[in-house]
Each structure stands twice: as structure tokens, then as C-alpha cells.
Chain A
């Protein structure tokens, strides 16, 4: 019989909490289901209402309406394999020891990252480009800094940025016509007068559109995943909610000023990576802040910056990714400066954030307004 005395255990014995292991498994199952469902949606629904941009000249006829998503599925598989490979090899160099089922857990963690990148990678990326992005991102944002649980920048966002800045992303061409995705349509909407939105809200909800990537359609599916993960306490609802509210409110203020109305705000909520990022990217515990107010500030900051960048800057991919990386830079500062949290502080923070949202909405609204010479 041996009684361990020298010090209290560093590993606690609480069994009633949502452990990190549970989170990894739950994330994996959710992502796998999402991947399968999004492919099923593509096969079943097809894309009857694709809107083509006739102004873009094309001379390629490689993709057809029924098979344009096949390369994306290959990319998804390649991304998962590459991510697990880099992750486990990286752990080998970090001399990480595995106990019990930790090897499986670690592999699943990197598989999750790979799956997220695969789901977000644009249709027109080649498998090689995706693999390179995955390897660079996981190595640079996680492995070099000490493996899982370390790092400043969100690995998935880093991978998407690597794709965006390293490779030219061609416009998706189906049957010889350039496709207008909802996101570009939303951008064009604020760029020039007379443009109409290339989507309707029910289409976005059901996934009856061709987005940038596999996951950027079927908002209902993503919303259900969000709710399930929030109820299971796998993701932190504080960041997600403050982000969604920040984004929607800013877009709504801008929409009211310009006269685009609520459809514009809903568009911002449903297009691009918004819901997927709200569920999987922002809630990444390593790169998001710790305290309550810091989480609110973080979420609102990303929401506001997303609207600002989407509407006022021309970014090739979804500007949300850049907003996330900008907020990641803030995280260490927020963690250091917001030491204590109390109820009154939280209320104060929420009030300040409301003001920030309104100001940002006004800025976006009036800038778009002036772009049209006050004609709106």
C-alpha cells in the first residue's frame, strides 16, 4: 500500500465536467455529420438557381453543375489526412507522451482542424494547395509554439489566409459560366447601384445556392449544429452570441441608414463563413480570451470588423477570417488587462460594446451612402 503524500495531485478527480476529451469527440462527430450532410445537400438539392456573371470572360468548361463539388470532397479528405499527419509528427518532435486514449484524442483533434479547413477551402483550390496550406498553418500556428493548447492565431483561420495570400483563387466556373456566390453578391450590392442580391433568404437557409466552399450554404444545418454544441456545453455561448449580435446589429444599423433593410443584415448573418465560424472558429479556447467581458469584447470586435471589412475593404476570401486573426492579436492583451470580472463591469462592457456597434454601423452606413453619392 502506498499513500501518495508529497503534494496534492495536479490532475483533479472531477468527473462531472465536460472534459476536453468529450469536447474533441463531440466536435469530431458534429463536423463529420456536417461534412456528410453538406455533401448530401449538394447531391439532393443540386443548384437550380445558380446565378452567373456574364461579365467575367471564361474559356474553361471543366466543371458541370452536377459535379462541381467533387474536388471539394477530395480536398476535405486530403486536408484531414495532412492535418493528422502533421499533428502527430509534430507531437513526436515535441516528445509528447500519450496515456490511455490520448493518441486517439490527439489524432481526432488534428482531424477536426483538417476537416474545418477542408470544409472552408474554396471549390477551386487544388488538393495540393490545400495540403500545403494545412501543413504550413498547423506547423506555424500550433506545433512551433508547443502543440495543442498553445498559440496565438487560430489554426484554421491561418490556413485559410495562407490559401488566400499564397495562391490565386480562380472564380468558380460551371458549364462555362462564372458563378456569383452570395458573398460576392453581397459585396457587389454595396459596390454598385442597381445590382440585385444573388440569393434569397430561404435559399440561404436551405442551401439552394453555390457558395465559396462546401460549408457556406445550408444555414439551418449550421444553426442546428450551433445549438446542439451550445446545449452540450462544448462551445462557449458568450463569444458566439456576442459575435452574432455584434455582426447583425452593425449590419442592421448600416442597412437602416442605406435603406437596404433587414435583408442586408440577414444576408450578413447567413452568407459566407459566418455561422460556421461562430460555431467552430471563434470558440477555439486557445486563441480566445478567458474572462467574461474579454469574451464579449472579442466577439463583438470580430462581428463589427467583419461587417467593416466585408463592406469597405475588398478581400478575396471572406473578410471574417481576417477579423478573427485581428481579434486573436488582441487576445493576450485582453487577458492581461481585464484581470477581474464582476457584474457591474460586465454591464458596463455591454453598454460600451453597444455604443461601438452603433458607431460602426453608422460608419459603414454613411460610407456606403456616400459611395452612391447620397442617392439612396
Chain B
């Protein structure tokens, strides 16, 4: 990963997510270190400082969900003074668990069928999916060379096993990865399984083979802890390296709107504009900035947006300066729709603002998957029209 770390003059730490409020735990004007607690949200989520320096003020900014929330502005002294974190005994189950709880690694949002490092589970098996990292496909050998040594990785995996009181931890890697990079520590065996391809179903079959029984849809009821590699990396930072809590975040900046496609660690609270040197600036004057992917991401107002812990990917694309074409009524959208809707008819009704017809066409079944936009031969953004119709007749 390219190193995206820059030392901006100010960082803006978002105080909460969506519409939750938070209690500030520092006095404005005081000095903080990297990893110092600055606020606690209503939900109990802890927010830490990512730089050392003086807390300046509270400003209102748009976050990555396009909601105006309070941000704590910290003046960076560029010293990177870290809060000292006590070393813990990696053989102790309770010590690791309490550190994981303190750093809120168990509260990380989970996608797909991952259970996360859920401390309330009592699993028979822990399976770590090391085929991808930070939503990207991972070649573990390259990754190891650049970021984390195989020794650290083994310690992290072992720590997860120790935390759940198990003797063996299972790791799934892709077929290119060398199995020897994992060696068990502190009396933990690491059992490495190579995957023949990257399909998810294949992973579940492996888990079923390890468990010796069929999986139900909810993995947390299967006595299995199934986690991504990023959870292990969090454990390594928290328990092995004793780094302060979340202060950097891996992000990917891509799209045809930026000159260089880059990825790497960024200090939490850095504004996207500060990274312009790293990605080489923008290619055009008019752009769309999207946080997340094209299908489910949200459109942002400006690059004056602080990268928070929940930003994985920023997508910048050029605005298509093409005249709106007439729908040629080919019916491809209808063919593509998984919900069996007739998007063309709905658009037609939306243009004429005919609510009754929109309701008749079951607009609320639309899952906004965007397939209609993708297949449209007139290049009409069908999904956006569907969204408008849906919102209007709510």
C-alpha cells in the first residue's frame, strides 16, 4: 500500500455518526496526545485523537454520510506524541479481551456473514478469512512484505485464539499464499486452509468442512467466530504493538476524477483536500465525489470532508456532459430488474407526476440495486428516477 500519511495543520475529528450526540471529554484549548480520549457518543462509542496538539474549536462540517455534524478541530503540533499504552500479557485470556473491549474492536460493523470479534460468543472454532483485506482482494505475500511481518500476524492470530480459549485457530488464505507464514504462538495451533477460488460459497464450504456440520444462515448460532483479516490487524495494533486506539485508517481513493489511484493509511480527521498531493489532483473541473462504492455510496458536497473511521473508499468521477437522451423504450430495465418492476413505466408516470400509477407499479419493491441504470441503452440513470418517484409518494 502506498503511504498516504500526511501531517496536516489541522485535523477534524467527527464527534459521532449520523444523528447521535456526544459528550466532549476534553477542554477546548488543552493539549492532547495521539490516542487520548476526546469524546464519548450517546451510544457509548469512544472517540480518540489521531494527532498530538491543541484542541482548537468545534466546527460544523459535512461528514461522509453527508450529514452536518460537529467536528473537533485539533491543531497538529506534528510531534506525534503518543499516549503510552501498557503492554499486556499475550497469554492471558482476560487481558486480551479487556483490551479488545476497550478499543471497541468487538463493536466494528460487520458485512456479509462475518460475526466479528463478538465477545459474547462461545465458539468451538475461530475462522479467519485472510483472502481479502479492507474490502479488496489480497495477495498476502505482498501485503506481508510491506505492512506487517509474518511474526506479528502469527501473534495476532494466536491472540484471537487465546481470547476465546481455544487450542486451534483456522485461517483461510488464497491459493497463492505460502502456508508457512503462520506459526502458532503461546501454545496455539494455526491451521491454514488454501482456497481454490475466491468465491464466498467456497469459504462457507471450508468452514462446514472444518466444523463437520452444515451451517445455518446466522453464523453466530453455529458456534463459529468468522472474522476478516482487518479484525486481526486491529488486534495486532491494540494487543501486540500496544499502539494507541484508532488513529489511522486505510482508505482507497479511486475513479477517473483523480490523476493517481492511491490507497494507504490516513490519519483520522485528515480532510480529503489535504491528500491532493498524494493523488495528484483532479482531472477535471466538474466532479462527483462519492464516499463508498457507486451502488450504495453517498454523494458528497466537497472535498472539505474529514476522513473518519467509517470511510473505506472515496470515488471521484468526472461528470458526464451529455445531453439527456430520450428513453427508447427497449425494456432492458424491465428485463434486468430483480424485483420484476417496469422502471420505464414508472419513469413515465414520474415525469407526469401521476402518483396513482406509480403506486400501482409497486415502486416500494424497488431495492435500488442500479441494474436498470447499468443496462440502459439511452444511458438514463433509471435508478435516480426510481428514487425520486419513491421519495415523492412516500
The residues of A with any CB-CB pair to B shorter than 8 Å are 1-5, 7-14, 16-20, 23, 97-100, 102, 147-150, 236, 285-286, 288-292, 295, 335-336, 339-342
* 22 A–B pairs (Cβ distance < 8 Å), ordered by A: A1-B282, A3-B288, A3-B300, A3-B303, A4-B286, A7-B384, A8-B384, A9-B320, A9-B381, A10-B324, A11-B325, A11-B379, A11-B380, A12-B379, A13-B320, A17-B379, A148-B326, A149-B326, A149-B329, A290-B330, A340-B340, A340-B342
Return the contact of A14 from the options B319, B328, B379, B385 (Cβ within 8 A): B379
Residues on A with C-beta less than 8 A from B382 are 12
* Residue of A9, A150, A295 with most partner-chain B CB within 10 A: A9
Q: Knowing A291-B334, A340-B362, say if A5 contacts B380 (CB, 8 Å).
A: no
Residues on A with C-beta less than 8 A from B299 are 5, 8
Complexed CA–CA distance, A5 and B334 (Å):
28
Are B387's CB and A236's CB within 8 A? no
B353 at interface, CB cutoff 8 A: no
Q: Which residue of A lies closest to B373 (CB)?
A: A12
Chain A interface mostly: loop
Complexed CA–CA distance, A14 and B371 (Å):
10
Not counting A3-B300, A12-B381, A99-B321, a sample of 4 additional A-B residue pairs whose C-beta atoms are within 8 angstroms of each other reads A17-B376, A97-B323, A236-B331, A285-B328
Q: Which 4 A-B pairs have the closest CB atoms?
A: A149-B326, A290-B331, A99-B323, A8-B384
Residues on A with C-beta less than 8 A from B341 are 340
Complexed CA–CA distance, A148 and B323 (Å):
14
Are A295's CB and B331's CB within 8 A? yes
Are A14's CB and B301's CB within 8 A? no
Q: Knowing A1-B285, A20-B377, A290-B334, say if A9 contacts B323 (CB, 8 Å).
A: no
Complexed CA–CA distance, A18 and B379 (Å):
9
Residues on A with C-beta less than 8 A from B320 are 9, 11-13
Q: Knowing A10-B380, A285-B330, say if A339 contacts B345 (CB, 8 Å).
A: yes
Are A236's CB and B330's CB within 8 A? yes
B262 at interface, CB cutoff 8 A: no
Residues on A with C-beta less than 8 A from B383 are 8
Are A17's CB and B289's CB within 8 A? no
Are B384's CB and A292's CB within 8 A? no
Q: Which residue of A lies closest to B361 (CB)?
A: A339
Are A17's CB and B323's CB within 8 A? no
Residues on A with C-beta less than 8 A from B213 are none
The residues of B with any CB-CB pair to A shorter than 8 Å are 282, 285-289, 299-303, 317, 319-332, 334-335, 340-342, 344-345, 360-362, 373-385, 387
How far does the Cβ of A292 sit from chain B's closest Cβ, in whole Å? 6
Q: Knowing A2-B285, A292-B335, say if A11 contacts B324 (CB, 8 Å).
A: yes
Residues on B with C-beta less than 8 A from A8 are 299, 381, 383-384, 387
Residues on B with C-beta less than 8 A from A150 are 326
* Residue of B317, B325, B327, B335 with most partner-chain A CB within 10 A: B325
Residues on B with C-beta less than 8 A from A147 are 326
Complexed CA–CA distance, A370 and B88 (Å):
100
Q: Which residue of A lies closest to B384 (CB)?
A: A8
Complexed CA–CA distance, A105 and B363 (Å):
34
Residues on A with C-beta less than 8 A from B385 are 10
Q: Which residue of B lies closest to A16 (CB)?
A: B374
Residues on A with C-beta less than 8 A from B326 are 147-150
Complexed CA–CA distance, A149 and B329 (Å):
8
How far does the Cβ of B303 sit from chain A's closest Cβ, in whole Å? 7
Q: Which residue of B lies closest to A97 (CB)?
A: B323
Are B329's CB and A5's CB within 8 A? no
Q: Knowing A1-B303, A2-B287, say if A10 contacts B331 (CB, 8 Å).
A: no
How far does the Cβ of A152 sit from chain B's closest Cβ, in whole Å? 11
Residues on A with C-beta less than 8 A from B288 are 3-4, 9
Are B323's CB and A3's CB within 8 A? no
Complexed CA–CA distance, A17 and B328 (Å):
14
Complexed CA–CA distance, A4 and B17 (Å):
24
Q: Knowing A11-B379, A98-B323, say if A290 contacts B300 (CB, 8 Å).
A: no
Return the contact of A10 from the options B300, B344, B377, B384 (Cβ within 8 A): B384
Q: Which residue of B lies closest to A236 (CB)?
A: B330
Q: Knowing A3-B302, A8-B381, A10-B385, say if A341 contacts B334 (CB, 8 Å).
A: yes
Q: Which residue of A lies closest to B66 (CB)?
A: A5
Are B345's CB and A290's CB within 8 A? yes
Complexed CA–CA distance, A14 and B381 (Å):
9
